[in-house]
Amino acid sequence: MDPTKATIAAVAALAALGLAKRRGSRGQYTDQFADLIRSGDIDYAKELASVAGVPLDLSGAKLMKLEMNNVDLSGANLSGADLRASDMNGANLSGVNLSGADLHWAQLWRANLRGADLSGAKLTQVNLSGANLSGADLTGADLTGATLLWADLTDITHDGMTMWPMGFRQPDLSR
């Protein structure tokens, strides 16, 4: 399909989904994007967001128990989203806003969370083995029971409210 026809098709799809004019109270188009993500059309949701000129906004979305291994959601807004027990192994979540999100029991093995905002996120019992968390903001995050084996915690931001797994030697705040 040539680019012009693809753009027209995308704009028609946006209109059909109500994305052309609707603005949700939680964020632009959150419900429609969440429906596409739940149905497995992640790339399509990203393409529609791009054509609409809006960020992929899934703030407050209910996305529990989804299989999203190796997905690319870089730069998306998932603040306050419910991602409990979701599988996101190998996912690219670099620069994602996950502030206040609930990721209890999520699988993020070898996920790229470089520069992600995880402030106030519930990361209890999360598997972050081999994950890249370099430059991430973990201020006030709850990592109780999380697995951080081989995780890259270079240059993370955290504070006295950040809760770490039992026995975990937290990074030095004095640097």
Indicate the domain borders of the chain.
Answer: 3-52, 58-175
Q: What top-level class would CATH report for the domain 58-175?
A: mainly beta
Q: Specify burial of residue 134 (Cβ count, 10 A radius: 0-12, 13-18, 19+).
A: middle
Between 70-79, 138-147, 164-173, the lowest mean confidence (pLDDT) is in: 164-173
pTM of the model: 0.81
Cα three-residue angle 48-62-164, rounded to 5 degrees: 115
Higher pLDDT, 48 or 87: 87
The string of pLDDT tens digits covering residues 99-150 is 999 999 999 999 999 999 999 999 999 999 999 999 999 999 999 999 999 9
Q: What is the C-alpha to C-alpha distance for residues 16 and 136, in angstroms, rounded to an integer?
A: 37
Q: Mean pLDDT, to the nearest integer, of 151-155?
A: 97
Is the confidence at residue 169, as pLDDT, over 60? yes
The string of pLDDT tens digits covering residues 9-57 is 555 555 555 544 344 444 556 777 788 888 888 888 888 777 777 778 8
pLDDT at position 171, please? 76
